[in-house]
Amino acid sequence: MLVREMMRSPVTTLSPEATLKEACALFQARDFRHLPVMEADRLVGVLTDRDLRWVTSSLCPGRLGLEDPVRGAMSHPPITIAPLDPVEDAARIMREHKIGCLPVMDGARLVGILTGMDILDTLIRLTGISLPSSRLEVALADRPGELARLTAFLAARNVNIHSILTYPDPDQAVRTVLRIGSSQARTLADELTRDGFRVLWPQPKPWPH
């Protein structure tokens, strides 16, 4: 998934000469936590609610007043991302710098903004339930063709796959979590086990039938 599919636009921005009072009013009124700061057409920084709270705090040595300009409070230089970068890059950059937003720059032009909340929305989209479905979890051997064998098995039974997520397992297998468009996951799990797959969920009944 690309940044341009997840970002928000158009973007509300601040001038570096705006006062902290004006910035605060905007944060409160629109429920913002981050605003890019633009000087003419150039991105010069990002003002966050954390910046605002710190520079106006009695604990801050160079404490600013409400009429002081945003320029003295903003974080800079801004850390940015491009619209065609993938979501995993955005997540990694935000995590590395421990920041909550990335202005999205197409060359020198600000085209959107991506926040931690947008990344969470994406996680929900990737893992969430969009259609009635069952969970099927299989530990696949880490070699070519195993996932294909699993999906071919489901295709042969006309079972639709709504989503599929894989991640490495401690014991060298590829843990594969599928959401499938059938309520009969246990029947499929039994057949998968017979076909030599290691099924993690659903498990067989704990007592003999």
| Closest distance of CB 29 from other proteins, Å | 24
| Phi and psi torsions of 155, nearest 5° | -60, -40
* E strand residue ranges, 24-123: 34-39, 42-48, 101-106, 109-115
Q: Which is nearer to other proteins, 8 or 186 (CB)?
A: 186
User: Which CA distances in Å does 123 have to 2, 34, 109, 119, 180?
Assistant: 13, 21, 27, 6, 19
Smallest separation, CB 143 to other proteins (Å): 28
**Considering beta carbons, is residue 17 or 190 the nearer one to other proteins?**
190
Which whole-number Å values give the CA distances from 87 to 2, 82, 117, 208, in the listed order?
Answer: 5, 11, 13, 47
Nearer to other proteins, 98 or 194 (CB): 194
Nearest to 113 by CA among 173, 54, 33, 27: 33
CB of 77 to other proteins, least distance (A): 40
Residue 77 or 206: the one with the smaller Cβ distance to other proteins is 206
State in angstroms the smallest separation of the CB of 160 from other proteins.
7
Binding region for other proteins (CB under 8 A)? 129, 131-135, 157-160, 179, 181-187, 201-202, 205-207, 209
